[in-house]
Amino acid sequence: MIDLKFLRENPDVVRASQVTRGADPAIVDQLLQADAARRDAIQAADLLRAEQKAFGKKIGQASPEERPALLAGSNDLKAKVKQAEEAQKAAEDKVVELQYRVDNIVEGAPAGGEDDFVVLETHGTVPEFDFEPKDHLELGESLGLIDMKRGTKVGGARFYYLTGDGAFLQLGLMMAAAIKAREAGFSLMIPPVLVRPEIMQGTGFLGEHADEIYYLERDDLYLVGTSEVALAGYHKDEIIDLSDGPLKYAGWSSCFRREAGSYGKDTRGIIRVHQFDKLEMFVYCDPAEAEQRHQELLSMEREMLGAIEVPYRVIDVAGGDLGSSAARKFDTEAWVPTQQTYRELTSTSNCTTYQGRRLNTRFRGADGKPQTVATLNGTLATTRWLVALLENHQQADGSVVVPEALRPFVGKDVLTPRG
């Protein structure tokens, strides 16, 4: 939710942000007009309430003969106050409605849509095979790691089983990420995967991409697509203590996405599925530190991808592809040999005060006064990583070398085809 004071003082900045996102800048003027109308309505209601209070004193001081006429006037004034308060509430509701339609202010991201990202850096060497490489699903099936057929039989399209060493590979990724997060000062959490509407709304996920989310109508609850949602709601309506530095959490959970609008896209394997596991970092901090904390999350993602030894690149996501809550987002994309391209494995977003304002999460600044907290998030491991891991570490005989960092969890150096 945009800060109205910032909007009044910097309308051109907000208009430019809307343009960078490919959104309509006209909503800025609509919100400014609604805000002015709200302030006028508040002033009108305040004046009538003051008049009503003064009139009440006058009645109290009046003689018995004067009171009937004054009471009649009081009832008329009471009706006017009620009408003014209704007008004030309507004006305030209109402002909130428009506030929720303005996405976070872009900070430094390039303009454009999904294809207008900027490559910031590239790491690792793209493998050159002297054999025809197999894709991750063929490898997963031959090694007994992935069972899509039975996943489809039980859950439908885009569901799967991770079996045997495939399950240990995912658990190894998640454990390695959890340990790394703990060493960096993050508190590990296993959060709820069902949340109330106000939590989902507060994080900015019920906007234009609401059709991606599973909704349980009978319970009025949403299944999360990332533990970011539950972690953002953890301190809703609280004033948190940041005197010792930011609060840092790492949420390990299953995640659920409907993948609406992706029909026919990435239908093979586990690149785009309805359920997956993820370890998500989440930070609450002073807004003045947000950019620094964003770089720290990106560094942790770099180190984790380096630990599983896959080639990757970092991109600066364009404004039109940020999502409503992010002011800036960096994606890390790993090389997928059979597709001859990079595919997203992680992202990290600086949400500035957008989520904090919606969820009423604050901290006390140096002056002791409460102010809105900044929030950031970043993925440290997820099921999709298995795609890049299997394809980049395959060998001519169909085996896959387990990255050294995961061997203590998997218990094997090499995964070999079943005989």
Q: How many domains does the chain have?
A: 2
The answer to whether residue 110 sits within a structural domain is: no
Q: In terms of domains, do 124 and 250 share one?
A: yes
The answer to whether residue 209 sits within a structural domain is: yes
Q: In terms of domains, do 44 and 148 share one?
A: no
Q: In terms of domains, do 294 and 352 share one?
A: yes
The answer to whether residue 113 sits within a structural domain is: no
The answer to whether residue 343 sits within a structural domain is: yes
The answer to whether residue 304 sits within a structural domain is: yes
364 is in an annotated binding site: no
Fill in the DSSP letter of residue 339.
Answer: T
Amino acid 65: pLDDT:
66
Q: In terms of domains, do 133 and 83 share one?
A: no
What pLDDT tens digit does each residue of the chain (419 aa) get?
Answer: 789 999 999 999 999 999 999 999 999 999 999 999 999 999 999 998 888 777 666 666 666 666 666 666 677 778 888 889 999 999 999 999 999 899 999 999 999 999 999 999 999 999 999 999 999 999 999 999 999 999 999 999 999 999 999 999 999 999 999 999 999 999 999 999 999 999 999 999 987 678 899 999 999 999 999 999 999 999 999 999 999 999 999 999 999 999 876 667 778 999 999 999 999 999 999 999 999 999 999 999 999 999 999 999 999 999 999 989 999 999 999 999 999 999 999 999 999 999 999 999 999 998 999 999 999 999 999 999 999 999 999 999 999 999 999 999 999 999 999 86
Closest CA to 229 of 214, 262, 251, 257: 251
Q: Where is the domain boundary, 101, 131, 150? A: 101
Q: Where is the domain boundary, 44, 75, 101? A: 101
Amino acid 252: pLDDT:
97
The answer to whether residue 111 sits within a structural domain is: no
328: enclosing H helix or E strand:
strand 328-336
377 is in an annotated binding site: yes
What are the Cα distances from residue 69, in Å, to 52, 54, 62, 263, 314? 15, 16, 10, 72, 77
Q: In terms of domains, do 365 and 233 share one?
A: yes
350 is in an annotated binding site: no
d(CA 394, CA 402): 9
d(CA 91, CA 76): 23
Amino acid 79: pLDDT:
83
Placement of tokens 């785009």 in the chain? 272
Q: Look up the domain containing 253 and give its range.
A: 118-415
Cβ 393 vs Cβ 309: under 8 Å: yes
114 is in an annotated binding site: no
Q: In terms of domains, do 89 and 136 share one?
A: no
Q: In terms of domains, do 228 and 309 share one?
A: yes
Q: Where is the domain boundary, 66, 101, 136? A: 101
226 is in an annotated binding site: yes
The answer to whether residue 106 sits within a structural domain is: no
Closest CA to 382 of 166, 103, 159, 170: 170
Q: What is the pTM of this model?
A: 0.91
The token pair that represents 16 in the structure block: 């430019």
294 is in an annotated binding site: no
Q: In terms of domains, do 52 and 83 share one?
A: yes
342: enclosing H helix or E strand:
strand 341-350
Amino acid 209: pLDDT:
73
Cβ 208 vs Cβ 272: under 8 Å: no
What are the Cα distances from residue 358, in Å, to 2, 93, 100, 233, 270? 9, 14, 9, 10, 34
The answer to whether residue 109 sits within a structural domain is: no
Q: In terms of domains, do 292 and 188 share one?
A: yes
CATH number at residue 300: 3.30.930.10
Placement of tokens 């942000």 in the chain? 17
CATH number at residue 92: 1.10.287.40
What are the Cα distances from residue 238, in Å, to 198, 250, 342, 363? 15, 19, 41, 8
Q: In terms of domains, do 190 and 267 share one?
A: yes
Amino acid 261: pLDDT:
67
* Residues designated catalytic: 257, 272, 344, 347, 384
Q: In terms of domains, do 162 and 22 share one?
A: no
Amino acid 59: pLDDT:
67
d(CA 319, CA 326): 9
Fill in the DSSP letter of residue 360.
Answer: T
Q: In terms of domains, do 232 and 89 share one?
A: no
